[in-house]
Amino acid sequence: MVDVNVSGTRGTDGADGSTPGASGKSGAAGGAITGSAASLDVSNTAEVYGGDGGNGGDGANGKLNADGQYISDGGNAGAGGKGAGATASAETDYDTTTITDASALAVGGGGGNAGTLGDPTPAKAGKSGGNGAASSAVATASNNDAGTEAYSRAEGGDGGSGTGVGFHGGNGATGTATATGSTGGGTNPADADVDLSVAQYGGSGGDGLAGASGGKAAASTLNNAANGWTNGGMLFTYQSAYGGSGGDSYGGTAAAGANAASTLTFDDHSEPTQARKFSNRFMPRAEAAATALMVPTVPMAATPRPRRSSQVALNSFFRPRKR
C-alpha cells in the first residue's frame, strides 16, 4: 500500500506597519504541490493540500500629539496572499482475488486575509483578500480478477477576507475530480464489481470587512466524471457537486452563491460484455447568496470567517463539507 500525504508551504504573513501611519505589507502566496500514489498494491491513496496564502500585515495607527490626539492618518492594510494549487493522483492496477481501491483527495490552498486598517482610517484605504487556488484529483483502479473501487474528491480553495470600501474578499476557486475503474471478470465475473465515487466542491468567497464586498464563489460542474466498465459484474457510480458560498459583507455588497450541476450518463452497449447491473446516483447542490450586514453605529472589530480545516478524512469523502 502506498499512502501519500503532502502539503504545500504556507505563504509568509506580511509585516505590520512599524512606525506611526505605516502600512502593512502584503502576505506571500502559498506553495503549489503535487502528490501521486501508484504501485502494484491492493490499495493506494494520495492526499494533497495546497499551501494557504499568508495574511496581510496590519496598518499602524497614526501619530499622536502630546495630548494623545491623532495628528496623522493610520496606515493601510496589507493584501492577503494567494492560495496555491493542489494536484492528487492515485492509481491501482493490480490483478488479485482481493478487491482493490484507489483514493485521491486534493484541496486547493485558501487565500490569506487582508490586514486591518490603522486608526484613524485613511481615506480610500483597503486591500482585497487573496484568491483561493484550484485543485485536481484523479483516481484510477483496475483489477482483472475481482472487484475494484475508485474514489476522488477535489475542493477548490476559499478566498480570504478583504477590507475597505472598493475592495473585496478573495474569490473561491474550482475543483476538478474524476474516477475511473474497470474489471476483467476473472474466474467469477459476478464478483467483479466496480464502485466509483466523485465529489467536487467549488471554493467559497472571502468575507468583506469595513465596507468591502464579499468575494465570488466558484461553481462546480460534473459531467460523466465517474466512468467505468465491468465484464459481467455490477457497476456503481456516484457523483456529487457543490457550489461555493458567496462571501458575506459588513457594510458592502454580499456575493451570490455559486451554481452546481451533475450529469451522469452511461451506455454499456459498446462494451464486449455488459455489466450485470448498473446503479447511478448524482447530486448537485448550489449555495445560497451571502448576507450583507449593516455597519453598526459604534465601530466593531469584525472577525473573519474561520477557515475550514483542510484535513478531510477519506472515509467522509462524500459528506457535504462544513464551512
Q: Which domain holds residue 229?
A: 2-316
321, part of any domain = no
Instruction: State mean pLDDT over 121-145.
Output: 94
Q: How far apart are CA 113 and CA 57, in angstroms?
A: 9
Asked whether the whole model's pTM tops 0.85, one would answer yes
Q: 288: pLDDT confidence band, cut at 50, 70 and 90?
A: very low
Q: What is the pLDDT of residues 33-43, one digit of tens each?
A: 999 999 888 99
Closest CA to 144 of 188, 178, 90, 195: 188
* pLDDT beyond 60 at 284: no
Q: How far apart are CA 220 and CA 203, in angstroms?
A: 9
285, part of any domain = yes
Q: What 3-state DSSP class applies to 51?
A: coil
What is residue 190's predicted lDDT score, i.e. its pLDDT? 62
Contact 148, 183 (CB under 8 A): yes
Please list, residue by residue across 87-112, b when 16 or more beta carbons sit within 10 angstroms of its beta carbon and e when fewer do: bbbbbbbbebeebbbbbbbbbbbbbb
Per DSSP, the residues of 133-175 read --EEEEEEEEESSS-EEEEEEEEPPPPPPEESTT-BPPPP--E
Angle at 48 between CA 43 and CA 53, to 5 degrees: 170
Closest CA to 138 of 230, 36, 236, 221: 36
Cis peptide before 299 (omega within 30 of 0): no
323, part of any domain = no
* pLDDT beyond 50 at 289: no
75, part of any domain = yes
322, part of any domain = no
- Beta-carbon count within 10 A of 130 CB: 39
Overall domain count for the chain: 1
Contact 17, 118 (CB under 8 A): yes
Q: 292 is written with which cell numbers?
A: 450583507
What is residue 97's predicted lDDT score, i.e. its pLDDT? 84
